[in-house]
Each structure stands twice: as structure tokens, then as C-alpha cells.
Amino acid sequence: MGIWYRVRDLEAARTFYCAKLGFDEAYVDDEDRWARLTHGNTEVALAEGDPVDEEAILTVDVSDVKAEAERLRREGVQVGTVLEIPGTIRLLDVFDLDGNRLQLSEDL
């Protein structure tokens, strides 16, 4: 498991990652209060506890960063500005319910 994010409410975080960001649940440990989620080849673990500032940043590949930015904004998700390196990559910062930052990435 590469990236772990601490979240205050595991159920709310699981719902956010699955419903808003398209992750699938691979494993849930109700006793120890953590879950492993996948999005294609990307994995993240969510553990219930106090969020930690500036941990590693999860990167999720998507086919259209601009469309995802618009959709997430409409759904009330906190997102940054689409950044683009012409002919190379588009990136978008997305923040979960606890302020954990991840990036959506699109190869150009």
C-alpha cells in the first residue's frame, strides 16, 4: 500500500471517494477502522484518525481533467485550478472532506 490518508469519519470518506471520485472498495476493516480503495491501478488506504498535514499526494489518472474539474465543482467538491504543461500533462488538485490533497492527472 503506497499512500495512506487519515480521515475523521471513515464512512463519509469512503462514500466521498467512491461516489465523487470513482474509487472501488477493495477491503474494509471495521474493527481497526480503515479501508483500501482502488481506481484503476491506483490504490489509497483511508484510516480513521486525525488528518495529518501534507502527507504524500495521491495521483489519479483520468481521461479529461477539465471535465472532471467542472463535474466536481458542480457537486460541491473543493478543487483547485487546472494546470497544464502544453503537450505534456494537465493536473488538478482535489481536496477530500478532511483536506487531504490528491491530484487528477491527464496525459496530453
Instruction: Report domain extents, the chain.
Output: 3-107
What confidence category does residue 96 fall into, taking pLDDT thresholds of 50, 70 and 90?
very high
Q: Is the pLDDT of residue 53 over 80?
A: no
- Residue 81: what residue type? T
Res 56: pLDDT: 80
Cell for 4?
495512506
CATH topology of domain 3-107: 2,3-Dihydroxybiphenyl 1,2-Dioxygenase; domain 1 (3.10.180)
Q: Residues 68, 3, 89, 95: is their CA dihedral positive or negative?
A: positive
Which class for 90: exposed (0-12), middle (13-18), buried (19 or more C-beta within 10 A)?
buried
What distance lies between CA 57 and its chain's CA centroid? 9
Q: In whole angstroms, what is the distance from residue 3 CA to residue 24 CA?
A: 16
Q: What is the pTM of this model?
A: 0.90
